[in-house]
Amino acid sequence: MATVVMEQIGRLFINAQQLRQIPQLLESAFPTLPCTVKISDVPRVFRERHILTGYRQTDQSWRYYFLTLFQRHNETLNVWTHLLAALIILVKCQEISETVDFLRDPHAQPLFIVLLSAFTYLSFSALAHLLSAKSELSYYTFYFLDYVGVSVYQYGSALAHYYYAIEKEWHSSVQGFFLHTAAFLAWLTCFGCCYGKYARHDLPKFAHKLLQVVPSALAYCLDISPVVHRIYSCYWEGCSDPIVLYHVYHVIFFLISAYFFCCPHPESLLPGSCDFFGQGHQIFHVLVVVCTLMQIEALRTDFTERRPLYERLHGDVAHDAVALFIFTTCCCALTAFYVRNRVRAALCEKKE
């Protein structure tokens, strides 16, 4: 008996020794990263208004920037908010696919597109905030990729709202132009954001924001119109559809998030105090994630409960809408690639 007890104690001692080695193993796997630097230590293109510290050093290895996923810097929360949200979208997609046949049911394809486009914009955003600090070219490249994701999501949302959330009266008013206009405005958003980012140091501040915000605002007004009309109709008729409440929250969270995107609060009121936590862009990220999750939950329920209506309204339009989605995605990607080449040429010329 004593021998057995001693053996157990010996095993516990060995396990305790192994536990003590875990920090050393982690340190060897994740080496100590260089400290973050101040705003004066990075090139102008990386500087954000009212954010004074927490910048990562430029011209490091790709491994360094991937490892900064686990480092505290002024982009950490921006990366994690959208990275975790992208994983949640994947889980939701897998969950929905257990009861919905995305391949064989054409009426399910707009739902798949909005899920795919949500995952795209969230993952591209996480990549942009994680990897853009490597160099000036990387900065533009990854943020242009981010804008492609945003534009794709704009069209995906417009399609899903048009397909599942629309009422018969609004459908009869917009069916002749809605999807094509939504696709054009999505492309215009991509172009405006890419060119605005490329030329922002040569443009007045208001012009830079104009190029980024106005196309997005026009696109949003069109894209959300089926939802707003439905909310208004429900309120006017006194309906008790619980899903309309999800759409209301979706709109409210988006409008609040848009405010924080346009206005650098609270860091403009407290310069240097929000370098790591509490930036307006971080608040924007959190709100837009909540907005997206509300949207998807509402559209998922509309897909199930409003099938007789949208089957009668749309017929075979789903196939054309999917083709337009692919075309819009390609146009946005080519636009971002073209502007990136302009950036690369300008950077080469500057070096020479």
Summarize the annotated binding site as residue ranges: 129, 281, 285
Q: Is 174 helix (H, G, I), strand (E, B) or coil?
A: helix
Rounded to whole angstroms, the Cα distance separating 85 from 247 reads 19
Contacts of 194 (CB under 8 A, 6+ apart): 144, 147, 335, 336, 339, 340
Binding site feature residues for Zn(2+) = 129, 281, 285
C-alpha closest to that of 276 among 267, 289, 284:
267
Rounded to whole angstroms, the Cα distance separating 224 from 288 reads 15
Rounded to whole angstroms, the Cα distance separating 247 from 160 reads 13
Contacts of 271 (CB under 8 A, 6+ apart): 50, 52
CA 331 to chain centre: 19
